[in-house]
Structure 1
Amino acid sequence: MKLPPYAELLGLSIEACGDSPPVLVMPFVADVVGRPGFVHGGAIGGLLEMAAIAALYHALGDDGGDRDGVRVKPVNITVDYMRGGREKPTRARGSVIRLGTRIANVEARAWQEEADRPIAGARMNLLIDRG
């Protein structure tokens, strides 16, 4: 799966894929530091956005959709920060809640050590442009 260019800026990589939406990993490096010892909230928000987009592309592929020529455009995003991201890799996975012909509703969760203890979550609506 090819991620958008912003994912490269954050240093994101795909850890797991297969039948479920991919898990994205953001390393703790100087580019994502906010206050000393913590991940910047904007970097966490960017990770969640990329995880949501990756989950949508995964769902479009599973539905037989042709990803070539399909573009997604964010309509809105709401991020809930639950705890500070510390000096360790941060993971995120998106989940498509509703996939319509023009709009998709996607959620994403970010965590560090335990997936059931998220540091942030997001809800996002995306416009699907099938060209």
Structure 2
Amino acid sequence: MSPTDAWLQQVVAEARAAGDPGRLAAVIPYAQTMGISLRLAPDGPHAGELQGVMRFGEQLIGNPMLPALHGGALCALLESTAIFQLLWESAPPATPRTISLTVEYLRSGRPVDTFARGVPTRQGRRVTNVRVEAWQDDRARPIAVASAHLLVHSDEGPVKFEL
């Protein structure tokens, strides 16, 4: 295990012990730059579910004529949520690495906060598949969905990944 993996495992353990996934996103500079944080869903049918939240900022606008969120910003939220979901739920031996990410943009993202959730659909010894969906005001009307394939273990041992 690399020093970075050990450090991240410690951050995950501390965040879990505190019941605060936000601590995990708070130590990742990329997540901070994109305005991505984590929360456990409040009361309701999805209470306790890990959710990624991308706070709206003017820098996230891709088409100022509509205005609409940039597709790359939505992709960042979807990919980050998939990785954070694995770290939070299963604590893999190393930081998951993206093999592929297929995004389907369903409708324009408005200039408001955007939420996402990831659901692992298959977890193998080396690769885990995660289905992720993003929405804004109405969870039943996603604005984008993604299928992520993440490497969690290689033939040489746990994946080595530097943050």
CA distance in 2, matches of 1:115, 1:6: 25
CA distance in 2, matches of 1:20, 1:57: 16
Map of 2:85 onto structure 1: 55
Q: Is the CA contact (8 Å cut-off) linking 2:129 and 2:150 kept in structure 1?
A: yes
User: Where is the strand percentage greater, Structure 1 or Structure 2?
Assistant: 1
- Range with bigger deviation, 99-108 or 11-20: 11-20
What is the Cα deviation at residue 15 of structure 1?
2.7
Identity fraction in percent? 36
Letter of the structure 1 residue corresponding to residue 77 of structure 2: L
What is the Cα deviation at residue 5 of structure 1?
3.0
Structure whose alpha-carbon radius of gyration is higher: 2
What is the Cα deviation at residue 17 of structure 1?
5.7
Taking CA–CA contacts closer than 8 Å with sequence separation of 6 or more, which of the two structures ends up with the larger relative contact order?
Answer: 1
Identify unmatched segments of 5+ residues in structure 2.
1-20
Deviations 1:61-118 (A, max 9, x none): 4xxxxx5x51211000100000000011000011100111211000100000011110
CA distance in 2, matches of 1:32, 1:92: 16
Between Structure 1 and Structure 2, how many residues are aligned?
A: 125
What is the Cα deviation at residue 20 of structure 1?
5.2
From 40, 50, 53, give the equivalent of 1:22.
50
Identify unmatched segments of 5+ residues in structure 1.
62-66
Mapped pair 1:91 → 2:121 = no
Cα RMSD over matched residues?
Answer: 1.9
From 129, 134, 150, give the equivalent of 1:126.
150
